[in-house]
Amino acid sequence: MTPMFLLILVVFQNSIIITIATSKFTIPDATILQIQSAFTHNHLTSKQLVQFYLTQIQKLNPIYKAVIEINPDALVQAKTADQQRYNKTPISNSPLHGIPVLVKDNIATKDKLNTTAGSYALLGSVVARDAGVVKKLREAGAIILGKASLSEWAHFRSSDAPSGWNARAKQAVNPYVASVDPCGSSTGSAISVATNMVTVSLGTETDGSILCPSSNNSVVGIKPTVGLTSRSGVVPISPRQDTVGPMCRTVSDAVYVLDAIVGFDKYDASATQKASKYIPKDGYLKHLNSSGLKGKRLGVVRDYYYFGFGNDTETLNKFEKHFKILRRNGAILVENLKMIDFERILSMASDEDIALTAEFKSALNAYLKKLVASPVRSLADVIAFNKKHAHLEKIKEYPQDLFLAAEKMNGTSKLEKEALINLKKASKLGFEKLMNDNNLDALVTPKSSGSSALAIGGYPGIIVPAGYDKSGAPYGICFGGLKGSEPTLIEIAYGFEQATKFRKPPPIKI
Ligand SMILES: *[C@@H]1O[C@H](CO)[C@@H](O)[C@H](O)[C@H]1NC(C)=O
Ligand SMILES: *[C@@H]1O[C@H](CO)[C@@H](O)[C@H](O)[C@H]1NC(C)=O
Ligand SMILES: *[C@@H]1O[C@H](CO)[C@@H](O)[C@H](O)[C@H]1NC(C)=O
Ligand SMILES: *[C@@H]1O[C@H](CO)[C@@H](O)[C@H](O)[C@H]1NC(C)=O
Ligand SMILES: *[C@@H]1O[C@H](CO)[C@@H](O)[C@H](O)[C@H]1NC(C)=O
């Protein structure tokens, strides 16, 4: 801390306000850019920032259960970051330098933190190295504050378990309306940024796991094209659909994180190599353009709105208002579109289930085998563990039906092969054809209702807060595009966010 400025720390309505001369900076809801500016002007240190979040976690996490573990070295890492900034070490120019990040508990960190996907079966397992995305975060100077809670095994153990529940952290709670499903599986990643327990977080998605909790907790989520971000060191469901992405309070924060985590990783070589052609040479930041909606062709498939909300005219009317906003800001709405065989594509859900169930077994077994040490080495071991520790893992309440179904799969059945062919066909004739035939930049869907169309083909999507219903429950608007369309989606999402600024912090009363 430089003695040049008079620093006054005031605790005001539970938020630390740091006042220096004429400038005012408050940590809650501060963006990466605002935090970096406060660092530069010696209004804030990383240590103060980490301390604020640790206090916030201590206060709020007993209620919201968004954080599963805190990194005992976070404060030390913050002090190092402050020293680097003071010494003008090159890394301190990185936008993420000294910024605390929570990563979902299915993302490996080679430190004192456990990586368990919320399950006691993985407690005590030792990972070989940081996940590819964590390595990139550390290279960008970020501080790993801890692990965010999740639906256990990314919701691939039990179809009866509620979203946001895992045996270790218990049930996460929606900070806007406690009775509303917080959605999953990246539940803690969403809630922790919504409630200012951290600056930014990472989630993972196989189908809806970033988009849905972002929608229900009023944060921005980016579900990148599969392979754009490495999945190495991530407890898998399906390498065909799994992706890692940022969950943040603003589009700008999410894009700063995305910019840091994309790219080649030799431990997920094939997919990250293939997707590396989509990464703009000069990165994603310049696509944060508030005129980004200008001239963008946005497709509206009404079936999604009726599928999502039935005849809930209130919600439908809200989206009509959003369409007006999009038009007013220069977007061209292409209406009355039909996804070819919309119903058939919806029924692809069963093909998706078959494919994921088959892929899960071999992907999980491969993950478990690569661990340096682990109480479990195969899906069969995990099933046996859960039987043995039925009470701890609440097996009676939330049976491991998805595990049992996956264990029966052998990757060679006709059913599995057919499912994969059907999924490919559905993507080509459904989403891709719709986008290409109508020359669309993005498909606009309410909440996360379009997640399966994006999931089965590995397409990207960005969800942005879009309002609150009568009860105060949040919902988002999602922009999905063809593979590698992140730059365009960022322009659209940022344009919408800047024109609306719908997000408001949750009504926390403590
Ligand atoms: C990791 O789990 C072990 C129990 O196996 C526990 O003692 C330790 O505190 C955990 N680490 C953190 C950072 O919470
Ligand atoms: C998300 O929030 C809505 C309310 O906006 C709620 O109806 C729904 O059950 C929640 N969960 C999911 C999975 O959509
Ligand atoms: C922002 O978008 C507008 C409209 O498409 C464009 O004219 C302008 O050049 C863009 N700005 C930058 C910095 O790319
Ligand atoms: C919506 O209402 C119309 C007319 O009342 C009805 O024909 C239609 O089936 C309803 N759709 C849904 C999805 O409920
Ligand atoms: C795989 O499963 C199918 C049916 O589920 C069965 O017909 C086949 O024999 C099994 N193959 C192996 C190698 O176990």
For the chain, what are the domain ranges? 46-287, 297-347+425-500, 348-418
> With helix as H, strand as E and coil as C, how does 105-168 read?
CCECCCCCCCCCCCCHHHCCCECCCCCHHHHHHHHCCCEEEEEECCCHHHHCCCCCCCCCEECC
Nearest ligand 4 atom, CA 310: 13
pLDDT at 2: 32
End-to-end CA distance of the chain: 30
Contact 489, 460 (CB under 8 A): yes
Nearest bound ligand to the CA of residue 491? 3
Q: Is the CB of 180 under 6 A from ligand 2?
A: yes
Contact 285, 259 (CB under 8 A): yes
Query: What are the per-10-residue average pLDDT scores of the chain (510 residues)?
Result: 35 45 79 98 97 98 98 98 97 98 98 98 98 98 98 97 98 98 98 98 98 98 98 98 98 98 98 98 97 97 75 80 97 88 63 93 97 98 98 98 94 84 90 96 94 95 96 96 98 98 91
Q: Is the CB of 310 under 6 A from ligand 4?
A: yes
> From ligand 1's centre to the CA of 197, what distance in Å?
20
- Dihedral sign for Cα 456, 457, 460, 463, please: negative
pLDDT at 349: 67
- Say which residue the tokens 């680097």 belong to: 84
pLDDT at 510: 67
Q: Is the CB of 69 under 6 A from ligand 1?
A: yes
pLDDT at 509: 74
Nearest bound ligand to the CA of residue 316? 4
Contact 266, 300 (CB under 8 A): no
- Ligand 5 atom 6: residue of nearest CA: 413
Q: Is the CB of 216 under 6 A from ligand 2?
A: yes
CA distance 264 to 270: 9
pLDDT at 21: 43
Nearest ligand 2 atom, CA 184: 13
CA angle, 360 as apex, 399 and 135 as ends, to 5°? 115
pLDDT at 348: 62
pLDDT at 305: 75
pLDDT at 306: 73
> From ligand 1's centre to the CA of 349, what distance in Å?
38
CATH tag, 46-287: 3.90.1300.10
Which residue, 240, 213, 236, 216, is CA-closest to 226? 240
- Say which residue the tokens 């010696």 belong to: 42
> From ligand 3's centre to the CA of 333, what distance in Å?
20
Nearest ligand 4 atom, CA 306: 13
Q: Please say whether the structural domain 297-347+425-500 has been given the CATH code 3.40.190.
A: yes
DSSP state of 502: -
> From ligand 3's centre to the CA of 281, what distance in Å?
17
> From ligand 2's centre to the CA of 213, what distance in Å?
9
- Ligand 4 atom 2: residue of nearest CA: 311
- Dihedral sign for Cα 346, 347, 353, 359, please: negative
Question: Which residue numbers are catalytic?
Answer: 104, 185, 209
Q: Is the CB of 310 under 6 A from ligand 1?
A: no
Q: Is the CB of 469 under 6 A from ligand 2?
A: yes
Q: Is the CB of 294 under 6 A from ligand 3?
A: yes
> From ligand 2's centre to the CA of 298, what distance in Å?
25
Residue 301 exposure: Cα atoms within 13 Å on the Cβ side: 25
